[in-house]
Structure 1
């Protein structure tokens, strides 16, 4: 375990901004992909082969979109945690400093 912990709350908040940027980029990819796929329509026919393809494609497509959404949510949670940690570290520092007065 570390003997010393050093945190710069402003740098941690800045990192949270970068983490939010990653989340926003993931959301943009999801939106772009969803719109592009919807605009193309079904690339298969309504025959037995087309129905078989659709039965495999549609669940895989949805799993990809859902997984990317989960990934985005993870980055949102990380950013929130970084901000909360910075706030808590700052409060702790103020309370500890008050103990020396």
Structure 2
């Protein structure tokens, strides 16, 4: 998320990067969900297109159990992509809130006599 330069910083979070990247996970999760729905409905609609001969039966016997596992794994990926999107959005909001809190700790206020002191030192 940094610019590739080694600034010596341990953590360089740019909220703009997080905010711009988070929707990509949502979009890709939606795309995967659409592809999964298309796969499932198409295959279910075709029945057993591989045929009833010996090779077709052997293929069907090997394929059917794996079909459900593939569908389940793809469904898990969809949920994962959506949760990454949500987590990144939350992280971005939390990072902004944290920066504002820290900035507030170091803000100087003027006392009645005109001298500044740290507001966070109360």
TM more than 0.5:
yes
1:67 aligned partner:
73
Distance (Å, rounded) in 2 between the aligned partners of 1:4 and 1:67: 35
* TM-superposed deviation, 1:53: 4.1
Structure exhibiting the larger radius of gyration computed from Cα positions: 2
Distance (Å, rounded) in 1 between the aligned partners of 2:97 and 2:45: 51
Number of residue pairs matched by the alignment:
99
Going by fraction, where is strand more abundant, 1 or 2? 2
Quote the RMSD (CA, aligned, Å). 2.1
1:9 aligns with 2:15: yes
Distance (Å, rounded) in 2 between the aligned partners of 1:40 and 1:89: 50
| Larger relative contact order, structure 1 or 2 (CA cutoff 8 Å, min sep 6) | 1
Distance (Å, rounded) in 2 between the aligned partners of 1:48 and 1:18: 45
From 88, 92, 101, the equivalent of 2:98 is 92
Distance (Å, rounded) in 2 between the aligned partners of 1:11 and 1:51: 51
Distance (Å, rounded) in 2 between the aligned partners of 1:97 and 1:13: 21
Distance (Å, rounded) in 2 between the aligned partners of 1:34 and 1:77: 23
Gap regions ≥5 residues in structure 1: none
